[in-house]
Structure 1
Amino acid sequence: MLHTLATMPQHPESVPINALVQVEGTGTLEETRTCNNLRNGLYDFNSSYSHDNVVRLSAGRARFSQSEQALCFFAGANSIFTGDKLLATNNNVKKKFFILTK
């Protein structure tokens, strides 16, 4: 996926990078937490090779601590998705994340 993004003639405006969200009734309920180093590596790679797009912290971020989210920004994320719905979950923690960005 990252190679495809990096070699596209025109990069997309936004690249959301999601963490796996545990949802009852799906196989993800048994999955373990996403590895922070892998996720941050995705942000770093994408921000290094796709300079024209927004690297967006998206679904799954509600279970990250503020320090884990800060690491995502240090690694290259430069936006937070703030819509009302995050794929399969509600986005009911917006205020908490606006505090982080100040």
Structure 2
Amino acid sequence: MIQTAPDTVTDRKFANTLARGLGILRAFRASDSGLSHAQIAERTGLPKPTVSRLTYTLCELGYLAHGGRNDKFRLGPAAIALGSVASVAVSFVDMASDAMQQLA
């Protein structure tokens, strides 16, 4: 299960809804051809009604796309564009270096 947000966040600046929405985006893996509501709920630990509201919003904003051959959700153009910008802005060596330092 992907952690979407701490159970109890005492930081008033922390936006739980944003954390949950980003958790939905993080639920997707490169090997996925798409995810259903139920699969997203299972991977994130979020209730299905919450998944429904958040996926609707993410679709409206272009971060998710719904439908196609299998009628499932997949990452949309806005998410792909964001990933593309991130991949250009930060080199793989920098990302790997940070991850390796955290593991040490």
Would the TM-score normalized by the shorter structure come out above 0.5?
A: no
- Pick the structure with more strand per residue: 1
Query: Larger % of helix: which?
Result: 2
Q: What's the TM-score, normalizing by structure 1?
A: 0.33
| Rg larger for | 2
